[in-house]
A and B are shown apart, each in its own frame.
Chain A
Amino acid sequence: MAIAKAERLMNLALCLLGTGRPLTKRELRSSIEAYLEAGSEDSFNRMFERDKDDLRELGLVIETVENFEGEVGYHARRDRNRLPDVSLDAEEAAALQLAAKVWQQARLAGAASGALQKLRAAGMPDSEVGAGSYDALEPRIPAREAAFEPLMLACRDRRPVVFAYRKSNSAKAERRQVEPWILECWRGHWYLAGWDRDRRAERVFRLSRITGPVRSRVGEYTAEVPDQVRVRETAERWAGEGATTESALIQLRQGCGYPLRARATRMRELGDGWEELEIPYGHGLDAWLAEFGPDVVVLEPAELRADIIDRLRAVAKG
């Protein structure tokens, strides 16, 4: 039976951490059963390279040293791999425990519990799961978009990517070459900000509109990564919620349109079961007002009024 990968990785980690001097591949192969059984030199080499990468993903710092005979040796120095002292009290431990539970994405959920386990092993106090004041609170971060994980890694490693992207109102996807900067989750949806190489400008992408795989490209970033990236402002503008100084004047049937009323800056009774409201006028207000059908009449501005009439006519045609 093949030896399980976890067992092999664990053995490699213990060998590299336990040794006082760099170990050559030959030595490692003779110490680890799974490597002895690996078959050809080639398949052992491939396995060893992959395992080393996996351990590095887990945080291990593995150094490569050449000895006098020109042979390469590997070791994970303890002073470079030790967690610095960190003392957390029970309250702080409970807070981190809640935070670790929020990821609904497998890789990040695994990484977050891994961090907790390391802290726990380093002496973080055990706190009863579910005890304390976080009982009733269950924040969740979803990440169902297939593009999430490859883009997260690309942002982390600063690797340019290529993907097909379909803008909200177009049927066809277009190829986009992007230097990814950051991913941000707003209202449960993920957005990517980065440098669009073809448009030579900063762009924000909604992950759910990426169709097909995200492919990495070799090479450096060509544009400088800014200190501050504003993803949220762009997403808010798309959602029609950006800051605006303009306003619209509408009539609203009494008892209807609570959210319109909640954001009204001015309101007066007209009698007859109607009210007049002044509300902020931003992107997307036309579509939203149309939803209220016969319970809203737009007075100003004229362009908004014309827009609504246009929308209503399209629906009235049936």
Chain B
Amino acid sequence: MATNAIDQTRRMLSLVTYLRERPGARVEDVARAFGVTPDELISDLNVLPMCGTSFRGGDLLDIDTDGEHIWWHNSEAVTGGEPLRIAADEATALLVAARAVATLPGLRESDRLALLRATAKLETAAGDSAAASARLAVTFESEGGVFADLDRAIAERRRVWLRYYSPSRDELTEREVDPIRLFVLGHTYVEAWCRLSEARRTFRLDRVAEIALLDKPADPPSIEPRDLSAGLVQPSEDDPEVVVEVGPGGRWVAEYYPHDSAEERPDGGLRIVLRSPDPASLRRLALRLGRDGRIIEPVELAHAATDAARAALAAYEEDAVH
């Protein structure tokens, strides 16, 4: 975690309170309790002996460590160090997150109740600081039943069977997967090892048409979970390039699709260059755009869209009712 002066000050103020109660505390335990690495904690401990109520009078915190344990030699002599009230931003950050997590439909009831109890206590403890937390709201969405089944499968380490909808192909496929973890990033997803493709796959829960827990143990290879900090869709440099030109009404494409470049056009539109591992899946995009844009490259994709539109029109022009 990046440390800036504000976060470090905040942490050191709490550390002083924490250490007062725990003479000889272990570096490792304290670091874990504060969510920092032992090295970060040591750098805090190097600052604390420079702090106190008067550097001239010598009322500085006499805190030192041998790298394993932490000792505070004058904790009686130095005042301060009572638990501090929670700031408005702190209350907002924790309360908004807690309220959001509590809305996850798949959350176990006992966990939800614990979260609601904790939220209520935190609201009381934060007092006035809690007021501004109503100005920030987050809704998580997930398909309750599917979520609960996957959560159970992960806890019991079981394989599951999925009927899964792929919008790019507009088809349902059946597969067995070993679920690894659930995460929420806008939508709710499960990261799993897919036994059909023998590869890591990410499935969006609202696209699971059917799910069944199997009586087979899950046996995913040990893999690093995907790093989601840069977002879910991270096209590779090797993926084929797709060029889309849109008018003003198609500018939303640049908002929804991660892209390499989006160049302004004189008509108020954009020329967007993006990458896709499977350009054929973008036929849907071309059809959706209608008069608001078209695919320039690859040519095969442009043709596929034109052909699809002509085939679709044929049904209307015949005025055929199937």
Contacts and interface: CB of A to CB of B under 8 A. Distances in A.
Do A and B bind?
yes
Given A141-B138, A155-B135, A311 B310 contact: no
The winner among B53, B134, B135, B283 for most chain A CB atoms within 10 A is B135
The winner among A18, A60, A108, A118 for most chain B CB atoms within 10 A is A118
Contacts of B214: none
A183 to B, nearest CB: 5
Contacts of B50: 3, 7, 11, 33
Nearest to A9: B9
Contact of A112 (B33, B48, B97, B264): B97
Interface in B1-40: 1-2, 4-18, 21, 29, 32-35
Contacts of A305: 316
Given A10-B12, A11-B52, A92-B121, A183 B315 contact: no
A170 B292 CA distance: 12
Contact of A18 (B79, B179, B312): B79
5 smallest CB-CB distances across A and B, nearest first, come from A188-B186, A59-B87, A171-B268, A122-B83, A311-B290
A183 B92 CA distance: 12
Nearest to B133: A156
A126 B32 contact: yes
A118 B137 CA distance: 23
B171 A231 contact: no
Given A10-B51, A84-B125, A315-B306, A115 B91 contact: yes
Given A14-B53, A140-B183, A310-B290, A293 B312 contact: yes
Interface in A179-202: 181-189
A117 B34 contact: yes
Interface stretch (B110-118, B194-202, B234-242, B272-280): B110-118
Interface residues on B, range: 35 or more
A91 to B, nearest CB: 4
22 contacts: A3-B50, A7-B47, A11-B52, A54-B9, A83-B83, A83-B125, A96-B98, A96-B115, A100-B93, A106-B2, A113-B1, A115-B91, A120-B14, A133-B111, A136-B179, A183-B137, A185-B137, A297-B320, A312-B290, A315-B306, A315-B308, A316-B310
Interface of B: 1-2, 4-18, 21, 29, 32-35, 47-48, 50-57, 61, 78-80, 82-94, 97-98, 100-101, 104, 107-108, 110-111, 114-115, 117-118, 121-122, 124-125, 127, 129, 132, 134-141, 151, 154-155, 165, 167, 170-172, 179-187, 207, 209, 228-229, 231, 248-249, 251-252, 255, 264, 268-269, 283-291, 294, 302-303, 305-306, 308-316, 320-322
Nearest to B181: A136
A11 B308 contact: no
Contacts of B108: 133
Interface string A201-241: 00000001100000000000000000000011000000000
Contacts of A31: 53-57
B322 A292 contact: no
Contacts of B80: 14, 17-18
A9 to B, nearest CB: 4
B92 A111 contact: yes
A262 interface: yes
A86 B7 CA distance: 23
Contacts of B314: 294
A49 B101 CA distance: 38
Contacts of B92: 108, 111, 156
A146 interface: no
A116 B15 CA distance: 12
A114 B90 contact: yes
Contacts of B285: 291
A257 B170 contact: yes
Interface of A: 3-7, 9-11, 13-15, 17-19, 30-33, 54-55, 57-61, 78, 80-89, 91-96, 98-100, 102-104, 106-123, 126, 129, 133-142, 144, 152, 155-156, 166, 168-172, 181-189, 208-209, 231-232, 251, 255-259, 262, 270, 272, 274, 287-288, 290-297, 299, 305, 308-318
B94 A138 contact: no
B313 A312 contact: yes
Given A94-B114, A115-B90, A121 B10 contact: no
A78 B51 contact: no
A136 B155 contact: yes
A9 B12 CA distance: 10
A167 B15 CA distance: 48
B114 A169 contact: no
Given A138-B184, A315-B286, A103 B89 contact: no
Contact of B85 (A83, A112, A172, A187): A83
